[in-house]
Chain A
C-alpha cells in the first residue's frame, strides 16, 4: 500500500519564478492538505482540497494556489517566488472530513535564491 508521495524531492528556483509541486495521496484517501514548514518550525497549513475544490485555507497570500484532480492527486503552485518561500512543502492525505487523521508525505525542499 503506497503512502503519500511527493515530487520533486528538491527544487532550486530564483526570485520571481513560479513553481509547481505535486502530491499523490495514500491509497483510498480523497482529501489533500498542503503545509509549509520553515526550518526549525512546525508545519503551517496552506489549504485543503476535497472533491476538486478548495475546502479550507490558511493565512497564505493568493500567490499560493492549488488544484486537485479527479484521481485525488494534487498540485501546489507558487507564483512570484520570494526568498521567504524557501521551506519544506508537505502534502498530507486523509479520508473525508477535515477531522480525520492526516498522513504526511516526505516533502519537497524548495530553495529560492
Chain B
C-alpha cells in the first residue's frame, strides 16, 4: 500500500516531442505529489508538485495531471529539449516521501 508505481522505465523522444510519465498509488493518505529530476551524479531536484485538490498544474514546460479517483498522476514535458535528458522520479508523501523507481528520459536532437 506504500508503493508508487512508475512507468515507463525508459523513454526516448525527439526534440520538440511531449514525453509522458505515469505514476499510480494505492494509499489514500498520500496528500502531496512531487516530481524530481535527477542528472547523473547529482541529487534529485524538485521540478513541480501538486496536491490532490487540484487536477492540473503547469510550471513552464512541465505539467502535472492528477486523477484522484483513479489514484494516478502524470508528468508531461512540452517542447522537450536535449537538456531535459535525465531520470525523472514521481513521489508521494503522507508522513514520508515514497518514490517511484524512475524513468530514464532521452531527448534526441
Chain A residues in contact with chain B, CB under 8 A? 4, 33, 35, 40-45, 48, 56, 58, 90, 92, 98-99, 101-107
Return A97 CB to nearest CB of chain B, in Å: 9
Residues of B within 8 A of A48 (CB): 96
Residue of B nearest to A56 (CB): B96
CA distance A101 to B93 in the complex (A): 9
**Structural contact, B42 and A43, CB atoms closer than 8 A:** no
Closest B residue to A105 by CB, please name it.
B43
For the complex formed, measure the closest distance between the CB of A7 and the CB atoms of chain B, giving whole angstroms: 13
Complex CA gap A40/B95 in Å reads: 25
Q: Count A-B pairs with CB separation below 8 Å.
A: 56
User: Given A42-B99, A43-B99, A44-B99: A104 and B45 within 8 A (CB)?
Assistant: yes
CA distance A112 to B100 in the complex (A): 25
Q: Which residues of B contact A4 (CB under 8 A)?
A: 43
30 contacts between A and B (CB under 8 A): A4-B43, A41-B102, A42-B6, A42-B89, A42-B91, A42-B99, A42-B101, A43-B44, A43-B89, A43-B99, A44-B99, A45-B96, A45-B97, A45-B98, A56-B96, A58-B96, A90-B43, A92-B97, A98-B93, A98-B94, A98-B95, A101-B46, A101-B49, A102-B97, A103-B46, A104-B36, A104-B45, A104-B46, A106-B43, A107-B43
* A40, A98, A101: the one within 8 Å of B96 (CB): A98
| Inter-subunit contact B96/A33 (CB<8 Å) | yes
The SS class assigned to the A binding surface is: loop
A104 touches B31 (CB 8 A): no
Bound-state CA distance A98–B91 (Å) is 14
Beta-carbon contacts under 8 Å, B82-109 to A: 89, 91, 93-102
A45 to B49, CA, bound (A): 19
Shortest Cβ distance from residue B71 to the other chain A in the assembled complex, whole angstroms: 18
| B32 close to chain A: CB less than 8 A | yes
Q: Which residue of B lies closest to A91 (CB)?
A: B43
Nearest A residue (CB) for B49: A101
Shortest CB distance B70–A (Å): 21
